[in-house]
């Protein structure tokens, strides 16, 4: 077991905790940054991550790499972030059902059976040629926010909406504990693959024009999909949708 002694930095206001973690890697090998608010919080695909002051968790773990990583190693950080977030949420709310939606949205089943997003993970690798200089795992978890932008109001939720009043600091402590555990998990890609539970599922393009069957989550984190005529690789869940399997109980 690796024991990470991780310097932790807290800020009131930052642009994005991912940016500050990256900057601090000039002086640290590994670093954690969290903040009360982000002025330029970002999600995947260039989306804005709404980051109201003291309402939610804005957490980033940075690792100085300065080496080549295999595609499998690179993808494993995606798995670490997703699993740490879902581990934390399951610890906070053991009676709720959470699932990871490919690639890394954490979704929860609401009391009315609708499915909403409560957490997102943004993993960034900085390259110099083929050398990965740093890896940043950014995790956002909605805690006290109850009002979202109109386009998100029906899609997003928070611990407060789920009936849980949690302190940001306590959620930080749990996420931090879980991410350190998952960094030490040698089988993290298999754990994530199992958690995704997407193999064999039908994936439909958002415009509804094409449907594929997912054959496998590959070691580099992409999806091998069968179109009926041939196989394609899918690297982003953004243009596709599939039915999340909540089964009968929480896992």
Binding mask 82-111 for ligand BTN (x = CB under 6 A): -----------------------x------
**Who's near 27: CB < 8 A, 6+ residues apart?**
none
Distance of closest approach, residue 28 Cβ to ligand BTN, in angstroms: 17
> Is 67 one of the binding residues for ligand BTN (CB under 6 A)?
no
> Is 122 one of the binding residues for ligand BTN (CB under 6 A)?
yes
Residue linked to tokens 């954690």: 32
Where are the strands (E) in the chain, listed by range? 8-14, 30-38, 57-67, 98-101, 105-109, 115-128, 131-141, 202-205, 211-217, 223-226, 231-234, 240-241
Distance of closest approach, residue 200 Cβ to ligand BTN, in angstroms: 25
How far is Cα 193 from Cα 211, in angstroms, rounded to an integer?
21
Please report how the helices 168-183 and 71-92 are oriented relative to each other, as an axis angle in degrees rounded to 10. 140
Half-sphere CA count of 191, side-chain side, radius 13 A: 20
Alpha-helical segments (H) within 128-213: 168-183, 188-196
> Which C-beta is closer to ligand BTN: that of 60 or that of 135?
60
| Cis previous bond, 103, omega within 30 | yes
**Exactly one of 62, 82, 120, 221 binds ligand BTN (CB under 6 A); which one?**
120
> Is 47 one of the binding residues for ligand BTN (CB under 6 A)?
yes
3-state secondary structure of 80: helix
Distance of closest approach, residue 107 Cβ to ligand BTN, in angstroms: 11
Among the residue ranges 82-90, 116-124, 162-170, 190-198, the one whose residues contact ligand BTN (CB under 6 A): 116-124
Distance of closest approach, residue 150 Cβ to ligand BTN, in angstroms: 18
> Is 18 one of the binding residues for ligand BTN (CB under 6 A)?
yes
> Is 49 one of the binding residues for ligand BTN (CB under 6 A)?
yes
> Is 59 one of the binding residues for ligand BTN (CB under 6 A)?
yes
Residues near ligand BTN (CB under 6 A) are 16-18, 38, 41-44, 47, 49, 58-60, 105, 120-122, 138-140
């Amino acid at each position: 077991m690796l024991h990470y002694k991780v310097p932790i930095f807290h800020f009131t206001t930052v642009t994005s905790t991912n940016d500050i973690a990256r900057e601090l890697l000039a002086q640290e090998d590994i670093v954690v940054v969290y903040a009360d608010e982000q002025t330029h919080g970002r999600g995947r695909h260039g989306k804005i991550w709404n980051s109201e002051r003291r309402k939610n968790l804005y957490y980033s773990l940075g690792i100085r790499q300065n080496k080549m990583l295999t595609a499998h190693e690179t993808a494993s950080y995606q798995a670490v972030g997703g699993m740490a977030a879902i581990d934390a949420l399951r610890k906070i709310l053991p009676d709720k059902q959470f699932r990871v939606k490919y690639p890394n949205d954490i979704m929860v089943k609401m009391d009315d059976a609708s499915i909403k997003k409560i957490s997102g993970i943004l993993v960034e690798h900085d390259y110099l040629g083929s050398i990965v200089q740093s890896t940043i795992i950014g995790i956002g978890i909605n805690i006290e926010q109850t009002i979202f932008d109109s386009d998100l109001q029906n899609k997003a939720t928070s611990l407060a909406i789920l009936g849980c009043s949690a302190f940001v600091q306590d959620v930080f402590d749990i996420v931090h504990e879980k991410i350190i555990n998952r960094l030490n998990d040698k089988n993290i890609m298999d754990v994530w693959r199992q958690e995704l539970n997407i193999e064999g599922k039908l994936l439909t393009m958002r415009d509804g024009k094409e449907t594929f069957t997912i054959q496998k989550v590959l070691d580099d984190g992409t999806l091998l999909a069968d179109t009926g005529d041939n196989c394609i690789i899918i690297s982003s869940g953004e243009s596709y949708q599939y039915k999340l399997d909540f089964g009968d109980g929480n896992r």
